[in-house]
Amino acid sequence: MQKLALTFLTFLLSFSFLFGQNFFNKTNFEEEKTIVVLTNPTISNIKNITFLIGNNFISDTSIIYVGVYYKYQKYNFENSRKYISENNLVNFYMHEIKDTLTLSNIFTKNDCSDDFLKIFAHSNGAVFFGGPDLPPAMYKEKTSTLTYISDPYRHYFEASFLFHLLGGSQNNDFVPYMEKNKNYSIRGFCLGMQTMNVATGGTMYQDIPSEIYNIHYDEDILKLDKNQQHKNYNYTLTANNKLIYGNFHQIAIKDKSLAGKKFLKINPYTISSHHQAIKKLGKNLQTTATSIDGKIIEAVKHTKYPNVIGVQFHPENRYIFHENIKYKFSQQDKNYFTGLDVLKKNNSLEFHQVFWAKFINGLK
């Protein structure tokens, strides 16, 4: 009985260590290791990164990935810890931030500032993933009835983290952490780019169709050119769950920082699923790609920190690169397609490969 109790205690201790450990609380760090922070490390986002590694979009297999999240986010990140353990993802770790964040303190020194500094000091880069709409109060605007806010604490955490890294016009006296390492790499995807913009003092269009195109009904949005549709509005008009969640459309690249000189003359296809867009650019952000009609900012770079890039599309989503997952865009389409088919057919797969290679090279 005593032996059984001891075995059970050992199990509990190991279980507690596995699920309670916080990576950046370590006292010793292997400085030669490349460490990338993943915000909002849901199982789906972890799967996206492992897919990119397994399919050579991310060529460096020695990188350490640390999922960093805020305690009060709605997602249950114990599931992510369990997924990492059960799948023996030896290069993946988790780190929880517990201190107080409110709407009033996110763009100044706050209880999380020391946590942010420790994470920044012991990592080489950070990725900010997609997600739901930002609370407009963060950029001092009223909330449109078309804006959907589901997890404000996630937004407070990610915006405050980015503000600490980049600084912003809301608080010009604050010295950004990246002044200590101007080559630190950041990538923001969809919500990630929008958060980057708001964190640096920018604002948002809360709904593209109504505010930019003066269209108020999904059926009318679908009459626009495909390059003007930034998500698949068929999705709300049918019960067919085999429709693709987003829309493949072209972007017009204005700057070589996004993926090199070659793509300045090519309008590659990307996939997006969003209804909001940058209105006023944040401090030190510059447009590097737009929609084909020039009305939507599709990518930005930071003018002081060369490895900081945000894109309005999703270059990280494993489903667009999978050769066996097939979709339709609308119920009326006769044939199914894969995202990989679309990218290959339109000479756009290389763009995504180069985009990821540029990020990995920037970590070194």
Percent of the chain with pLDDT over 90: 80
What are the tens digits of pLDDT across the range 9-34?
A: 334 333 333 444 688 887 666 677 89
Strand order in the sheet with 185-189: 92-97, 64-70, 35-39, 125-128, 185-189, 308-311, 297-302, 285-291, 247-253, 269-272
Domain ranges for the chain: 32-207+274-322+349-362
How far from the centroid of its chain's Cα atoms is residue 137's Cα? 21
SS3 31: coil
More confident residue, 278 or 237: 278
Mean pLDDT across the chain: 91
pLDDT of residue 266: 87
Q: Which sign, positive or negative, has the C-alpha torsion 315, 319, 133, 42? A: negative
Q: How many CB atoms lie within 10 A of CB 340?
A: 16
Compute the distance between CA of residue 77 and CA of residue 75 in angstroms, rounded to an integer. Answer: 6
pLDDT above 90 for 282: yes
Compute the distance between CA of residue 200 and CA of residue 280 in angstroms, rounded to an integer. Answer: 11
pLDDT average, residue stretch 52-81: 95
Compute the distance between CA of residue 313 and CA of residue 245 in angstroms, rounded to an integer. Answer: 13
pLDDT above 90 for 364: no
pTM of the model: 0.92
> Hunting for tokens 């990995």 — which residue is that?
360
Considering only the top CATH level, what class is 32-207+274-322+349-362?
A: alpha beta
